[in-house]
């Protein structure tokens, strides 16, 4: 017995933020092929909410989180700028028609060639975190404006970005002084508190670091004109590895950001512009993956225990990359919510051991009667889904995508 349009009960929708929009639900129900679906109205609404909550902070969407032309165009249409991490992302952002002044090169890791290409494309704002990178920017993007990224611990985030980027509070004035000496404009500071940051305290710490560096810069006669608060704002509909809703304290986080920006503004020697570059917060909850069941199996493991494994058509290499730190909210639309269930490990279809929930994951209750081909929806899957598609690992083609709107127009 099938219930094609019936959404299951309490299991996947334990918090209001987890409920997919009617638009997304209808599009998922209407799709009979594996796809990633994006609800453009939902993304625009989330952007509008953020602007309303933090009117003093300009939003530059982190392209890496969803490099989909229609999504970028929708956000550009609402007034967003873009954080780009490569010349290719810069070019994609510029194709939306936004002025080049609202696109910055936010990656501290860049080759000479990439810097020169970004400069040729008209970008003038570059992230940096080292004297070596400053020297390269001075050579290949003369006269550019640089902002120095401060390292954060990443504590409290699902994906702490920790040691790869950013410099210490002590080094930042040295880096910006080197920029000034090299003929660049030492224009700002940035932080990133770690992706899906779950604590307001991490933001508080970031503001403490920013305030300390602004004071140290003042002593050197360096007066930045902006502060970039990075990404890290959470998606609202995620489950943790054990299947529990993450329920991030968004209101508290926003309050800390409001207080922090006011405090920096008061302490700064000149007016500061504030910028943010959220990725997953804007897109995660408004994207979903439509996959299907490859097979539900029961096997005895060498230790003697029997395990159920649900193999899906999509996994870590094809739309569900973030299974390292999450359980996706899975919906089985052709099975009743009260149908008998069995606990299973969730895995993707490839011949790769990483393409599965790991040992730290809880088991997932799945309908016992699942058959190969049954549709499966993975909700809150819109962030980094298209960015992390492999080109055809094991021959599985990269998932296609569709963008939908309330009117039903694609
Ligand atoms: C420099 C920079 N900005 C913004 C982001 C977006 O982060 P998030 O998706 O956590 O908002 C990232 C993510 O890696 C980043 O590296």
Q: Give the residues surrounding ligand 1 with Cβ less than 6 Å away.
A: 62, 64-65, 83, 106, 192, 195, 230-233, 277-281
Closest C-alpha among 277, 290, 308, 253 to residue 375: 290
CA of 168 to the centre of ligand 1 (A): 19
Helices within 105-249 (DSSP H only):
112-120, 131-140, 171-181, 200-219
Q: Which CATH architecture has domain 16-37+285-404?
A: Beta Barrel (2.40)
Name the residue with the closest Cα to ligand 1, atom 4: 231
Distances (CA, A) of 310 to 125, 269, 385: 47, 59, 20
Mean pLDDT of 346-375: 96
Give residue 14's pLDDT. Answer: 66
Q: Where along the chain do its domains lie?
A: 16-37+285-404, 40-284
Q: Look up residue 391 and give its DSSP letter.
A: S
Atom in ligand 1 nearest the alpha carbon of residue 384: 9
Is the pLDDT reported for residue 409 higher than 70? no
Give residue 12's pLDDT. Answer: 57
Closest C-alpha among 90, 82, 78 to residue 50: 78
Q: How confident is the model at residue 5 (pLDDT cuts 50, 70, 90)?
A: very low
Would you say the CATH fold of 40-284 matches that of 16-37+285-404? no
Give residue 162's pLDDT. Answer: 73
Q: Which residue(s) pair with 346 in the sheet?
A: 310
Mean pLDDT of 276-295: 98
Q: How confident is the model at residue 207 (pLDDT cuts 50, 70, 90)?
A: very high
Give residue 10's pLDDT. Answer: 41
Which fold, 40-284? TIM Barrel (3.20.20)
| Rounded percentage of the chain residues whose pLDDT exceeds 70 | 95
Name the residue with the closest Cα to ligand 1, atom 14: 195
CA of 110 to the centre of ligand 1 (A): 16
**Strands, E assignment, 301-357:** 306-312, 329-331, 341-347
Distance CA 86, CA 64 (A): 10
> Ligand 1 pocket test: which of 65, 233, 253, 284 has the largest number of ligand atoms within 8 Å of its C-beta?
65
CA of 404 to the centre of ligand 1 (A): 25
Direct distance between the N- and C-terminal alpha carbons of the chain, in angstroms, rounded to an integer: 30
Q: How confident is the model at residue 67 (pLDDT cuts 50, 70, 90)?
A: very high
Prediction pTM value: 0.95
> Ligand 1 pocket test: which of 50, 64, 150 has the largest number of ligand atoms within 8 Å of its C-beta?
64
Q: Could you tell me if 341 and 13 are in contact, meaning their C-beta atoms sit under 8 angstroms apart?
A: no
| Rounded percentage of the chain residues whose pLDDT exceeds 90 | 91
> Ligand 1 pocket test: which of 277, 380, 384 has the largest number of ligand atoms within 8 Å of its C-beta?
277
250 CB-near residues (< 8 Å, 6+ apart): 233, 234, 236
């Amino acid at each position: 017995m099938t219930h094609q349009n019936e959404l299951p009960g309490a299991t996947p929708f334990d918090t209001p933020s987890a409920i997919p929009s009617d638009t997304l639900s209808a599009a998922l129900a209407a799709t009979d092929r594996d796809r990633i679906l994006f609800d453009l109205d939902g993304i625009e609404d989330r952007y509008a909410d953020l602007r309303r909550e933090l009117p003093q902070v300009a939003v530059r969407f982190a392209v890496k989180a969803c490099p989909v032309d229609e999504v970028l165009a929708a956000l550009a249409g609402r007034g967003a700028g873009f954080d780009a991490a490569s010349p290719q992302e810069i070019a994609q952002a510029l194709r939306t028609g936004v002025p080049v002044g609202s696109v910055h090169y936010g990656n501290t890791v860049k080759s000479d060639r990439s810097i020169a290409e970004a400069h040729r494309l008209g970008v003038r704002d570059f992230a940096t975190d080292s004297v070596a990178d400053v020297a390269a920017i001075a050579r290949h993007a003369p006269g550019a404006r640089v902002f120095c990224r401060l390292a954060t611990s990443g504590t409290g985030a699902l994906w702490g970005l920790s040691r790869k980027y950013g410099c210490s509070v002590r080094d930042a004035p040295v880096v910006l002084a080197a920029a000034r000496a090299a003929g660049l404009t030492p224009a700002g500071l940035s932080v990133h508190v770690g992706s899906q940051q779950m604590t307001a305290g991490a933001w508080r710490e970031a503001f403490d670091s920013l305030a300390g560096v602004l004071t140290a810069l003042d002593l050197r006669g360096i007066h930045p004109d902006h502060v970039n608060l990075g990404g890290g704002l959470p998606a609202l509909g995620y489950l943790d590895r054990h299947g529990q809703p993450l329920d991030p304290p968004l209101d508290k986080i926003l309050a800390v950001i409001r207080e922090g920006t006011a405090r920096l503004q008061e302490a700064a020697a000149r007016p500061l512009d504030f910028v943010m570059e959220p990725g997953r917060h804007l897109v995660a909850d408004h994207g979903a993956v439509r996959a299907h069941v490859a097979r539900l199996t029961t096997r005895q493991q060498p230790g003697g225990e029997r395990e159920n494994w649900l193999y899906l058509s999509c996994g870590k290499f094809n739309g569900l990359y973030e299974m390292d730190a999450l359980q996706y909210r899975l919906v089985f639309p052709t099975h009743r919510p009260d149908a008998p269930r069995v606990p299973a490990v969730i895995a993707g279809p490839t011949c790769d051991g990483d393409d599965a929930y790991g040992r730290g994951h809880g088991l997932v209750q799945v309908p016992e009667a699942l058959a190969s081909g049954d549709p499966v929806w993975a909700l809150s899957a819109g962030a980094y889904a298209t960015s992390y598609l492999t080109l055809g690992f094991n021959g599985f083609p990269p998932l296609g995508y569709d963008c939908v709107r309330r009117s039903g127009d694609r």
